[in-house]
Chains A and B, each alone.
Chain A
Amino acid sequence: MNDMTPAQREARLEGVGCKRKRVEDVRFTQGKGNYVDDIKMPGMLHGDFVRSQYGHAKIKKIDTSRAKALPGVIAVLTAEDLKPLGLHWMPTLAGDVQAVLADGRVSFQNQEIAFVIATDRYITDDAIQLVDVEYEELPVIVDPFKAMLPDAPVLRPDLEGKMTGAHGPRKHHNHIFEWTIGDKEATDIAFSKAEVTIKELISYHRTHPSPLETCQCLASFDKIKGELTVYGTFQAPHVIRTVASLLSKIPEHKIHVIAPDIGGGFGNKVGAYAGYICSIVASIVTGLPVKWVEDRMENLSTTSFARDYHMTTEIAATKDGKVTGLRVHVLADHGAFDSCADPSKWPAGFFNIVTGSYDFPVAHVAVDGVYTNKAPGGVAYRCSFRVTEAAYCIERGMDILAQKLGMDPADLRMKNFVRREQFPYQSALGWEYDSGDYHLAMQKAMDAIGYKALRAEQKAKQAAFKRGETREIMGLGISFFTEIVGAGPSKNCDILGIAMFDSAEIRIHPTGSIIARMGSKSQGQGHETTWAQIIATELGIPSDDIMIEEGNTDTAPYGLGTYGSRSTPVAGAAIAMAARKIKNKAQMIAAHLLEVSEYDLEWDIDGFRVKGNPSRSKTMKEIAWAAYNSPPPGLEPGLEAVNYYDPPNMTYPFGAYFCVMDIDVDTGVAKTRRFYALDDCGTRINPMIIEGQVHGGLTEAFAIAMGQEIKYDEMGNVVGASFMDFFIPTAVETPKWETDFTVTPSPHHPIGANGVGESPNVGGVPAFSNAVNDAFQFLGSTHIQMPHDAWRIWEVGQKLGA
């Protein structure tokens, strides 16, 4: 490497900080990805569900005889068939149970009733039409507030009499849990002494992550070997294998769970679904591979929803705008079964990040989870557990407070930010924020967007509107969010008792190339690209010489998977730590080769050199060869390492987002003129991938805020569960994004990286919603519920007499 300058050697690595092109895109852009539905096995059967037409009904009779008589139909499974195996119900991640196939009752529309297995995809679907189900309709509850009325119908008779659930006492027959945190007494005192208070019901509607690829799996049981192979869309393949082993009693080492390429997850692919159980059972029963592939309507209406949080928000403050207390009560609609995907001890996720970026001296939160006749799920749609709900709650709340105080919402935020010198900062609701510089980020964002000039323009437009000169109004939405990601430390995070560590295994081959495997699982995040960059910087081997593998539970080390922006904070840390183990050994080998003491060596980009004599050096590639072929006496050959990383704390990425919106009052059509997103995710591993993540997350946030909704009518029909109605914006509707950053490295993460994938969804939604709200404020509006689709915005204008 003597012919290259240090800068050239550095650049050649394409390590941390490099805008390296995504290596996985070579196959994705050429149609060469390998997804579950691409996998075909000899003799493969196809399974699919008969589903409930009703939101709530008794099942009087299921007649499968006509379906079974159709040539090509192998079996039709109902709850009766699963009963002897004890698999007609399954445990959920949240400590509840969920019907795998309806056991005498359906509790939400499109619930799974029977699983039809046939030799051909078309025959399966023909046979589904031949299964006759006789129902007796029951009263339906889709409103969580009505579910808690004393005379509400009992939605879960299987739980009747059980007044204690997985998370403590149940107050009502449709109540799941109450979760509280914070100092109630001190908070109540703060409110009783407050000069100014606000109180508002802020609802975050039900939506869905809707990844491009739906949930699917292919199960194959080898009766001779007693081994089960499952290909599936799993964000957490190792956990799926453990759960499959516990449920099926097949030893874990005889289960091979493989998550191949995944076409987006966003939380949808964390849970365990009836389709997985039924295909596994069907394969065990038939001895043949069985594939299950969800269609779009099934995906939107059954496997997981997100949000459905109804947050009564109160803030106490002084007259001059210093916050003195926060009190939030949440009614959380969990649907028919509590299968929310949160760490086990956290039934409301990390909602207690709801104090946000502000220095609240006291706060109290109470969350009541309730059952309704809606699909179960409750996944974190591109957000760490319930963090987007919390961010929306506080960011909307701060705007409402600013309005009441007659203060500029940016000034109010500046006045109440946790200050840089306060980190590490103990929040009133129990978190230790590790780092941040909120004032710096906010000021940079305000300068970049030209905040003062925009406010002046808005004022002029409001005057023109009042004079009848224009029918357009302008909104300026601010969101300053603090996330909590990287679940998580084993002291407070586990899933079904499995601590939420993650892992990496790195092996350097004799020629200096690398294979590395992780417990995480990319669904589009670009791990094959970024994980290699971390290793490249740590070990001085070019990224292009490093292969990353994830998703195969036989070869990858155990990890908890990818969701909640945890990959970089946890698996990313494990990678750096494993690489450092290798580096330590490499230093010993280099010292041996250079005949100096280890302590006389220093790291130099891609190898070790002798301090004070840089001409004497060994590259990592040379060291790799020596590690296998001429290791120092007494040192075992080889150059590889494993690390399981239990993070000491969460990470706390933050950002300042501004949205400038113009609204046509006559049609309710809102146009985003500018959207500026400043993210601080600590050390930036691949700025291009970060930018892509931010673009994608903002597009989702835009969709959610402006109309993306899973809606039920009062009879329990899920309406609009197709892309005809469910808002997925195209390039035409999507605003142009302006991205920016500050860098505050996490002090406890080995490379200072915080995670970024979810920030834009978390921070984006309040920015859009605050823009709509801000636009109507001068006409007397305080709070407008999401989603803000055109007809709802128009109705607001009508009500305000605009």
Chain B
Amino acid sequence: MQLALLLQRTRFYRRNNEKSCYPTGSQFHGGNKLIPGPFTYHPPSSVAEAIAVLAAHGDEARPLAGGHSLIPMMKLRMATPEHLVDLGAIKELSGIRADGADLVIGATTTQAELIKSDLLAAKAPIIRETALQIADPQIRSKGTLGGNVANGDPGNDMPAVMQCLNARYVLHGKGGERIVAARDFYQGAYFTALQEGEILVAVRIPTPAAGHGSSYEKLKRKIGDYATAATAVILTVSGGKVASAAVTLTNVASTPLFAEEAGRLVIGSACDAATIKRAAEAAKAITDPATDGRGTAAYRREMAGVMTARALVKAFARAKTGA
């Protein structure tokens, strides 16, 4: 949950001065920021039941996963849902498994469970590497992958990682199931392809090639902070040269960014300094960060480049050269 971004989305927002990214007048009107307004709590035991409750209450209902974004917003009274639909008791929403060519992760699987998974560590180590950089151990034991990717907060780390892995999101709603690619899911800060009454039930990840190299480079002010800028890289190497590469960026625009050009530029190279520099420039070119407490827009754009360069170097070093 990022305050400045949320401010822009609240109806209190008024922009009187173009020089500042903050509105005049805070949305806070006093009161204790630990006390949410009244709401009804629903703990459904199946996805079907959850969808029925969401459908019954329309936009007055919100699904609740780990709660580490929604509940602070409710305490600040920036979100005032009248109905909370807690997905925590739905067993089918949790778990990590291999399914054919895919890795499937249930939506309410916590970050701590991602970290513990030997399957993920072996097949897609970037997930553990990223999860370990999210918040702190307490939050990771509650925060879920589904919440992290479905909330649409550009500060969240997993959306870019899922884009990097070319994951698909499995969504359930009144109309049944539909699949949306992570690279098509994000429309703006807190705006996603998720429709009213729909919940994300699982993430399907095409298992990355054996021997691939990956890295998630995140610059942050301190433990628990969102990225000033971060870059995910997954690449494969053949004959000492990059054979395939995906590069994605966190928190340097209103959505995660798939830096297609940056990835394309390193293919065929041995990640030499000149190529890395060109790729970092390509990544920077698509960013549109906001000035906030983490730094100016110019700084954060530059850091997207630095993180991209470092992630590429690290991923290349980690990859096993194929025949």
List chain A positions with a Cβ less than 8 A from chain B: 48-51, 53-54, 109-110, 112-114, 121-122, 124-126, 128-129, 131, 133, 135, 137, 293, 295-298, 666-669, 707, 711, 713-720, 722, 724-725, 727, 729-730, 732-733, 789-791, 794-795
Contact = CB atoms under 8 A, between A and B. Distances in A.
B223 A125 contact: no
B228 A48 contact: no
A126 B34 contact: no
A667 B35 contact: no
Contacts of B136: 730
B32 A121 contact: yes
Contact of B32 (A293, A667, A720): A293
Given A296-B33, A667-B219, A714 B26 contact: no
Interface stretch (B87-95, B174-182, B296-304): B296-304
Nearest to B224: A730
Contacts of B32: 48, 121, 124-125, 293, 295, 298
B150 to A, nearest CB: 21
Given A129-B29, A715-B16, A667 B306 contact: yes
B24 A715 contact: yes
Contacts of B322: none
Interface residues of B, number: 41
Contacts of A732: 222-223
18 contacts: A50-B30, A54-B25, A124-B32, A125-B31, A126-B38, A128-B30, A129-B77, A133-B29, A135-B25, A137-B25, A298-B32, A667-B306, A713-B20, A715-B24, A719-B293, A720-B293, A732-B223, A790-B219
Contacts of B35: 121-122, 124-125
Given A707-B221, A790-B228, 19 more contacts: A53-B25, A112-B30, A113-B30, A121-B32, A128-B30, A129-B31, A295-B32, A295-B34, A714-B19, A715-B24, A717-B26, A719-B22, A724-B3, A724-B225, A724-B293, A789-B221, A791-B300, A794-B302, A795-B296
B27 A53 contact: yes
A729 B220 CA distance: 12
Contacts of B43: none
B23 interface: yes
Nearest to B19: A714
B288 to A, nearest CB: 17
Interface in B265-323: 293-296, 299-300, 302-303, 306
Nearest to A718: B26
A666 B29 contact: no
A9 to B, nearest CB: 48
A791 B296 contact: yes
A50 B30 CA distance: 4
A212 B304 CA distance: 34
A717 B28 CA distance: 11
Interface string B130-154: 0000001000000000000000000
Interface hub of B22, B25, B300 (most chain A Cβ within 10 A): B25
Nearest to A722: B3
Contacts of A715: 16-17, 20, 22, 24
A114 B29 CA distance: 10
Contacts of B27: 53
B188 interface: no
B29 A126 contact: no
A718 B26 CA distance: 8
B58 interface: no
Nearest to A732: B223
Interface string B1-28: 0111000000000001101101111111
Contacts of A711: 293
B239 interface: no
Contacts of B219: 667, 669, 790
Nearest to B291: A791
Contacts of B20: 713-715, 717
A499 B306 CA distance: 58
A135 B38 CA distance: 28
Contacts of A48: 30-32
Nearest to A293: B32
Given A729-B222, A730-B222, A733-B222, A50 B24 contact: no
A795 B297 CA distance: 12
Interface in B165-209: none
Nearest to B293: A725
A126 B23 contact: no
B295 A790 contact: yes
Contacts of B33: 295-298
Contact of A790 (B23, B28, B221): B221
B28 A667 contact: no
A114 B22 CA distance: 25
A295 B35 CA distance: 10
A374 to B, nearest CB: 14
Interface in B205-258: 219, 221-225, 228
A714 B19 CA distance: 9
Contacts of A128: 29-31
A725 B226 CA distance: 10
Nearest to B80: A129
A720 B293 CA distance: 7
A284 B84 CA distance: 40
A636 B295 CA distance: 71
Contacts of B29: 50-51, 53, 128-129, 131, 133
Nearest to B30: A51
Contacts of A109: 26
Contact of B223 (A49, A122, A666, A730): A730
B219 to A, nearest CB: 6
Interface in B33-65: 33-35, 37-38
Contacts of B77: 129
Contacts of A49: 30-31
Residue among A48, A54, A717 with the most chain B CB within 10 A?
Answer: A717
A666 B221 contact: no
A733 B295 CA distance: 18
A794 to B, nearest CB: 6
Interface string B101-131: 0000000000000000000000000000000
B69 to A, nearest CB: 12
Contacts of A293: 32
Contacts of A791: 228, 294-296, 299-300
Contacts of A133: 29
A443 to B, nearest CB: 36
B30 A717 contact: no
**A-B pairs, 3 with minimum CB distance:** A791-B295, A51-B30, A128-B31
A523 to B, nearest CB: 22
A720 B223 CA distance: 17
Contacts of B303: 667
Contact of A53 (B28, B34, B293): B28
Candidate in B3, B23, B29, B228 with the most chain A CB atoms within 10 angstroms: B29
A771 B37 CA distance: 48
B143 to A, nearest CB: 15
Nearest to A57: B25
**Central interface residue in A719, A729, A733, by most chain B CB within 10 Å:** A719
Given A51-B30, A666-B306, A727 B221 contact: yes
B22 A795 contact: no
A296 B26 CA distance: 16
Contact of A733 (B223, B293, B296, B306): B223
A126 B35 CA distance: 9
Contacts of A794: 295, 299, 302
Nearest to A711: B293
Contacts of A795: 296, 299
A468 B19 CA distance: 37
A600 B34 CA distance: 68
Contacts of A720: 293
A304 B153 CA distance: 33
Contacts of A298: 32-33
Contacts of B223: 730, 732-733
Contacts of B293: 711, 719-720, 724-725
